[in-house]
Amino acid sequence: MEFKNETIRDFSIEKERNAIRLALNSIEKVLPFTIPISIGNTQKFSTNHFVHKNPWSPEIVVSKVSLSNALDLEEAIKISKKRGNLWKERPQEERSALLMKVAEKLVSKKDWILSVCIWETGKHITEAEIEFAEAVDFCRYYAAVANDQMLPKNINLLGEDNLYYYQPKGIVASISPWNFPMAIFTGMCAAPLVTGNVVLTKPAEETSATAYEITKCFWEAGIPKEVFHFLPGLGSEIGEAMVTHSEVSVINFTGSRDVGLSIVRLASQISPGQRSIKKVICELGGKNAMVVDADADLDVAVQAILSSAFGFQGQKCSALSRLYVHNDCFKKLKERLMASMEDLLVGSPLDFENRIGPVIHEESYLRLLRLQKENESFLTGITTQYPKDGFYIPPSLYEPPPDSSMWSSEIFGPLLSMKKISSFQEGIELANDSDYALTCGVISRNPKHVQEAKLKIDAGNLYINRGITGAIVNRQPFGGGKLSGTGAKAGGPDYLHLFVEGKTFTENTMRQGFSRDTIQ
């Protein structure tokens, strides 16, 4: 099964823009989306709802999400235990083929799913297109890897047969974030499903409509509803119930550091009736740096900084937050960066000329406003033209002192800190001086410095002379270390092994006579 990355459309072409506009403009007529709970073949609506508002027009309600609870979880697990073995026992080739059908189903609904995502998140059309392609890639890639790596392996000797095979871990709780509701949600569900596990998925409350549209593609492609349950709700309620349930074998989580570490603590406690040690897979964010060398190509540097720090309003775990620039080019780069920031077009993603949209919701908006106010004395540059209605935070550049929390705390917004360095080696030391180790960038034309960076920078994904966001499935398996996570590399050849256990059968084939009742 050959893997090939999904094609990215070019929205500079008028025909492509017009096609997606039809879908985008149709969304408002059907709002709000009413999102159900789906347990096996039963769909139901809760009297308790989470209401999500549109980020650029907060007077518009995008979705009303039914909130599942512990009783719903018990029902889903009861069905899973009854029907899970049928899914587990299906040949690997069949499960992989179904995942390929999921990819086809996603592509057939591409413009609709993209549009739902944009209305929920405020994501720019090009970024949404790239994210959608990643979702499709996850399905196709994991299907191919499963066929290549998960099939049984025989080592047969004279008088002895040995079989090594992979067994799914069981029931997987998939708890996904709002910032990549197509790609991360899809990948976190596709991997455990293709390896034969049952999946209980809890999408982020803010993007449950996007997640539900994708979930329907799984079901329509043939993934049984009895092994893929949709349980939207609050992390503090249904999320915690999943983590602590004795029948849940794996917790697959992407989100904040505080929540992730609390999951690790909770999962370490053995619940009554629990018979396995829970596996926790966590991707917990970053405080990502870029080092700009003395001989850097400043055209490359400016473009890499803008896309890495301000793409999707900085709401990426991989986003650039700490910028270290060599003294020799600091002044010139700073001037060019500030001028470029002033030219950024901020506004609704329905206008494709805009490059920066709103942040996800009022909570983030108010938190970022507070950070801006607290650090206004360190402000160096800012994008001054932006809408005053909606949850817009202008891209901002700061030069805070070394003891400022802006150098250590994940911000998850378009706020970038900049510092002058006297040597490339100092830049490496500062880049490594963090609790996180997710992404990092180096802009340099010095081969020795590039090699030094490869050897010394502690990051899961190091990018050289380009932006530090936008990992592509198979090309750049994504995930970091330290407090950025447990080291899982999504979109890489090792990821599926997190959801299976190896098992060995050995049989002595040197017969010592025959059992009487087998002789006819």
Residue 156 forms beta bridges with which residues? Answer: 161
- Helix runs in 157-297, H state only: 183-194, 208-221, 240-244, 257-267
**Catalytic site includes residue 283:** yes
Instruction: Retrieve residue 382's tokens.
Output: 């800012």
CA distance 87 to 32: 35
447 HSE (CA, 13 A, CB side): 0
CA distance 166 to 98: 19
Cis peptide before 232 (omega within 30 of 0): no
CA distance 481 to 315: 20
Are 252 and 193 contacting, i.e. CB atoms less than 8 angstroms apart? no
Tell me which H or E stretch contains 95: helix 92-108
Single-letter amino acid code for the residue at 28: E
Residue of 139, 217, 282, 317 marked active site: 317
Given phi > 0 = left and psi -120 to 50 = alpha, else beta, which region is 220?
alpha
Contacts for 115 with CB less than 8 Å, ≥ 6 apart: 20, 23, 24, 26, 27
- Helix runs in 162-207, H state only: 183-194
Distance of CA 402 to the CA centre of its chain: 31
Closest residue by Cα to residue 445 from 301, 289, 290: 301
Single-letter amino acid code for the residue at 290: M
- Helix runs in 294-360, H state only: 298-310, 327-342
Residue of 75, 120, 213, 283 marked active site: 283
Instruction: Retrieve residue 193's tokens.
Output: 């499903």
Q: Known catalytic residues? A: 283, 317
